[in-house]
Every structure is written in structure tokens, then in C-alpha cells.
Structure 1
Amino acid sequence: MSPVFQATLPSGRLLSGPIAMDNYHLGELLVGEVRAPAQILERTPRMVAQQGLDHLLLQFYHSGTSRVEVAWGEADVGPNTCILFDLAQPATVVAEPVHATNLLLPRALVAETVPNVASLHGHAFDYATDRVSRLFFTCVRELVDCADMLDVHQLPHISQAVAMLGSACLRGRAAARPANEVQLSIAIRQYIERELGSPHLDAEMLAAQFGLSRATLYRQFISEGGVQRFIRERRLLRAMKMLTQPTATGRPRVSTVAYTTGFSDEKTFSRAFKRRFGFLPRETEVGAGVWGRTADTQPVLQSWLKELAA
């Protein structure tokens, strides 16, 4: 579990029962199954910052219970319940022995149809009674059972189908808003992603582009703390990705990253970066060092997560 959570055993508890984790790489997403003992799992702010992952983890519980703690509060998870983790946000899980089916997918696969999926971080929902959720779970569960028998050429199509079904399930839970408002929200966020490198990207530019008042525009980003905060967060996450993922020419200069992600100067960028992640851009580590292992000994799951982030 170390590529995703820091795990410790609760005081006085012994390992008991079956312990196993299977994962299958389907090209664009990962599916798997876990049987885990009682443990405390932490995804700390520094771990989030150093890894720079922009993925979602969904766990469908078959048995066992957990208490999940995130910034907004706590949630209880049990059998027939799915919990969503946004790996770009911290979380703590206090778990009893658990058996669950896992799905890990890059945010990009659902972001266009579920624009505010980050608001679901730490939220649990019953996948047994809602028909769309049940269909989604059944698809993932059957996929785990047959993953090792699939042909390579089938994987991209299957990954896209799973992502679309997941979007259908999550979209109704992320917000109960009119369809035209959801489409507007999607369009605005797509525009922001395209224009992150522009230093002129701000609320005024967006309001003019979409013909909106500032009040209407702000309502689209209430769950993210406002439009400027959302833009800043997306810029910093993209900067972290550029700094931590190696390229053929090595890591780019800090000044290059600053200008590429829309900051007016390196000093402003470094100050914002440290405020968000707790350390300076020049202190980030490229590649395997970010994960605490060398490339020769890194676990398979760890390397797969990095591939999905590429």
C-alpha cells in the first residue's frame, strides 16, 4: 500500500486473516482487489505534494468497516459501500480488516463529465441499491475476475467504457444541478486547462469569454473556494507534475516551469509553491526519488501509478 498510503498497525492489534492485494494494469486505469488487516492508513500533505498524483481511487467494500477522515469531516464505510479518494488531497483511514475491490483512474478520464469530482473526496455511497452504481460496481468486479485473460488490443476500449460508466455514476453525486449549468461548468474548466499557461487567465478573462457576471462565475467554483483559488491550484499541480516527472532532457528549470504554468515571475511562483506544498520548487525530486525507492527496486504498483501520471 506504500505507493498510496503510509500504513501502520493499531496499537495492540495483531495481523490476522488473509492478507493479499492483486492489481491489473489496463493501459489507462488500474483495477484490483485487496484483503487487508486492521490498520491506520495516512495520505499526508507532504506525500500528496511529493508524488504529484492526479488520480482517483474508488474502493468498493465487500466486508469490513473504516472511518475516513478528510478536511471536511468524517465518513463511515462498510459493506456495500464505495468510498472515493482524490489522491491530490490528504486523508486518514482507520480500518478494521477489509475486503474490497479497487479502481484507480486518472482524473482526466472523468474530469470533462464530472467537473467537480474533487468535492467527492472522502464521501461514501451505497453501491448496492442505486442501479447505476450497482452496474458500475458489477462492471469493475467482473473486470477484476477476467483481467488476466484480456487481449492487449481490448484494453483501451475497456478502460474508456469503465471511465464512462464511472462518470455516469459519479456525475449525479457530485452535484444536483441543471444539465445546462453542468455543461457550462465543464466548458469553463476545459478552457482553464487549455489556458493555464496564460498570465492573463483570471476571473475577468473567464467572465468575458463566457459572457457571465462575476457572481455567476463565482457560483461555479463555490466548492473549490472560488475561481482564482481553482486556477492557482491547477497551475501548482501542473507545476508539480513538470518538476517530478523525468523527461529525456531532465527536470526543467524552475523559471521555465513558472512561466509555463502562468506565473508572472519565479519569485511569486516559488512563494505560492511553498505555501501549497511545504517546500520550494528546487527541493522537489525527479522520478523514483520522490517515492522513496530507486528505479531498480520500486514496487510494480508504484511504477504503474507513475505511468498513469505521465
Structure 2
Amino acid sequence: MSVILRNHFAPPADPAALRENWIAALLPIFQATLPSGRLLSGPIAMDNYHLGDLLVGEVRAPAQILERTPRMVAQQGLDHLLLQFYHSGTSRVEVAWGETDVTANACILFDLAQPVTVVAEPVHATNLLLPRALVAEKVPNVEALHGHAFDYASDRISRLFFTCVRELVDCVDVLEIHQLPHVSQAVAMLGSACLRGQAADRPSSDTQLSITIRQYIEKELASPRLDAETLAEHFGLSRATLYRQFVAEGGVQRFIRERRLLRAMKMLTQPGPAGRPRVSAVAYATGFSDEKTFSRAFKRRFGFLPRETEVGSSVWGRTTDAQPVLQSWLRELAA
């Protein structure tokens, strides 16, 4: 039986609550502003499916303005890419380098580590949200594609990529959890092939530095020597400059601890072919010096001990944090 996690938004029974509920549903990714003084028209729905390393889904959205402000970007600290394949509808996307129009049969890429404003008419789209790390090594300067749109219907590789994501949404109910790592890898590889064919300029140096530091942290999480001093020395930064990159996360050490614990949760709930690892092995693999320190930190974060985790469960299902499901998924993704 399939155990794929689904996050579903459907219009509430009370039409008066629709506007507020829709805004809340989008808040983990966008701040939404809906036209005032008029009823929301057209079908409104959104589905997201958690496939372990990425999310896929579909959205039917009303006319709206979507924003990721610099403050929102800094506060959330997301390092993910969102690709939307438009079936119908139009949008105007505004980023630092300029503006672009998105229409049917176009795919738009959003780098969630950068600000953006989207002025949209009613839209129907298929979504793919994945950690930057899944494609970063194969797509140089993928962050430079932020806000760029490309026609997925005319280019064969792009069409193949879209068809894969679209079919994945349609067949998600028959997938099994052991298939997810292979599916995610295939989607990431195909997406990398598609995105390599797109050209764009580099982002600002400050944005690039923030992204590069976070990529380095993800790669070095297993090292117990990973700390603020090591990062400052590696990147040639002062402690003050480094800390400014992580103000929204409460500092670099807190950010590293959070990433370590989320990766540990993933290792415990989504074991590999060799089965579920020992708690001590997870502790060392995520940079903790000993099992006792790891277990104490894990319980403070999630409210239960590492040995009490269940295979196939999700962080959002048991975390003590009061936050929307989609927000928890984003924090968990790529842990």
C-alpha cells in the first residue's frame, strides 16, 4: 500500500474563509495578496506530495500577487528551487535582473534564496520543488536562472522533463516508499539535463556567497570540526560577516545544528538498502561527538528520542513545532 504523504488544500465550506485560508496555505513559500472587493473566481485547489527528496504537485490558483521579500528570504533560509509548468494562465515575474512574462507551455524557475514578485492571473500549473543540492553540481550557476522562463513544449528535453513530472503527479498513489530515492534521482538527473540548456547571468555576489556557504555546510555536516571558525577561515570572512549571513536563523551554529538534526531524522525514518542504521552511527554521520549528546539534542528538537522514530514517518507528523505541514516539509527536505 502506498504511504506517500499528501498535503491538500480545498476551498473551505464557508466561502468567507477562502481568502484567509488560501493566503495561509501559500505562506511557507509566498506572501500572497488577493484582489480586494471582488470574489475569487475559478477553481482553487493545491496538492503537494512528499517524495522524500523532493515535492511534486499541482495548483489551480486565483488572480493574485505573490512575493518573496528580502526579509522573508532571510527569515526562512530556504535553499530550494521551485519549477512551475504552466498549463494555462499568465504571470509577470519581477526579479533583480528584470521582468519576464510566463504563459501556457512555459516553465518558470524560482530560486527561493532570492526575492521575487509575481503578478498573476488565474493559473493552472504542475509544480516541482527540490533542494538546490540535487542539481547544483550538474547545473553551474543554477541560481542565475531565477526568474527565467523557457518553453517546455517545443524543446524535446524540456518536454521530456515536464512529462516525467506530470506523470509522477498522476501516478503518485501507486508509488511505494522504497521507490522514492530512485524516482527522486531520476527526476533530478532529467531536470539537470533540461536546465543545463538554459542560459542566464550570475546573481549578485552576496547572494552567491550565501548560497555557497550553505552548500558547503551541507557537504561537510558529518565533520565534527564544522563550526563558525572553520567556515570563516575557509571562506576568508570575519566572524561578523559570517554571522550576518545567518542572522535570521539565529546564528551559524544554530543553523548547523538544525541541518544536522534534520538529516539525522531523515536517516532514521528513510533507511537505505542496508536497513535502518544504529543510533550511534547516525550520530557520528551527522557530526555529533557522541550518542548521548546527539540523543539529547534530538529530543529537544523533536520531542522524542532517536530510537523512538518510526520508519516511513515524517518530521512534521511528530515535531513539537506548531507550523503548517508544507513549512515543515520544506525544513525537512534535503536534510
- TM-score, normalising length from structure 1? 0.70
d(CA) in 2 for partners of 1:278, 1:102: 27
Gaps of 5+ in 1: 176-221, 242-251, 289-293
d(CA) in 2 for partners of 1:71, 1:98: 23
The answer to whether residue 87 in structure 2 is matched with residue 42 in structure 1 is no
Partner of 1:164: helix, strand, or coil? helix
Partner of 1:15: helix, strand, or coil? coil
Deviation at 1:39, TM superposition (A): 0.8
Counterpart for residue 85 of structure 1: 110
Contact 2:93 2:99 in 1 (8 A): yes
Report Cα offsets for 1:195-253 as digits up to 9, x if no partner. Answer: xxxxxxxxxxxxxxxxxxxxxxxxxxx72456x984565226767x8xxxxxxxxxx9x
Contact 2:114 2:207 in 1 (8 A): no
Contact 1:116 1:174 in 2 (8 A): no
Instruction: Name the amino acid aligned to 2:152.
Output: Y
Deviation at 1:174, TM superposition (A): 3.5
Percent identity between the aligned chains? 71
Contact 1:65 1:76 in 2 (8 A): yes
Counterpart for residue 21 of structure 1: 46
Instruction: Name the amino acid aligned to 1:72.
Output: W
Report Cα offsets for 1:103-156 as digits up to 9, x if no partner. Answer: 001111111110211110000011011111000000000000111210111111
Counterpart for residue 152 of structure 1: 177
The answer to whether residue 294 in structure 2 is matched with residue 269 in structure 1 is no
Aligned residues between the structures: 248
Candidates 34, 37, 62, aligned match of 2:87: 62
Instruction: Name the amino acid aligned to 1:261.
Output: L
Deviation at 1:268, TM superposition (A): 2.9
d(CA) in 2 for partners of 1:272, 1:10: 40
Tell me: CA distance 1:171–1:277, structure 2 relative to 1, closer, same or farther (3 Å). farther
Counterpart for residue 136 of structure 1: 161
Partner of 1:7: helix, strand, or coil? strand
Instruction: Name the amino acid aligned to 1:109.
Output: L
Contact 1:273 1:279 in 2 (8 A): no
- TM-score, normalising length from structure 2? 0.65
Gaps of 5+ in 2: 1-25, 219-223, 259-300, 302-318
Aligned-residue CA RMSD (Å)? 3.4
Counterpart for residue 104 of structure 1: 129
Counterpart for residue 198 of structure 2: 173
d(CA) in 1 for partners of 2:157, 2:172: 22
Tell me: CA distance 1:43–1:150, structure 2 relative to 1, closer, same or farther (3 Å). same
d(CA) in 1 for partners of 2:162, 2:104: 13
d(CA) in 2 for partners of 1:150, 1:233: 33
The answer to whether residue 120 in structure 2 is matched with residue 120 in structure 1 is no
d(CA) in 2 for partners of 1:146, 1:138: 12
Deviation at 1:171, TM superposition (A): 0.5
Partner of 1:161: helix, strand, or coil? helix
Candidates 23, 30, 48, aligned match of 1:5: 30
Report Cα offsets for 1:49-92 as digits up to 9, x if no partner. Answer: 12111110000001111111000000101110100000111101
Contact 1:58 1:104 in 2 (8 A): yes
Counterpart for residue 234 of structure 1: 212
After TM superposition, which residue ranges in structure 1, 4 or more long, deviate above 4 angstroms? 228-233, 236-239, 275-280, 284-288
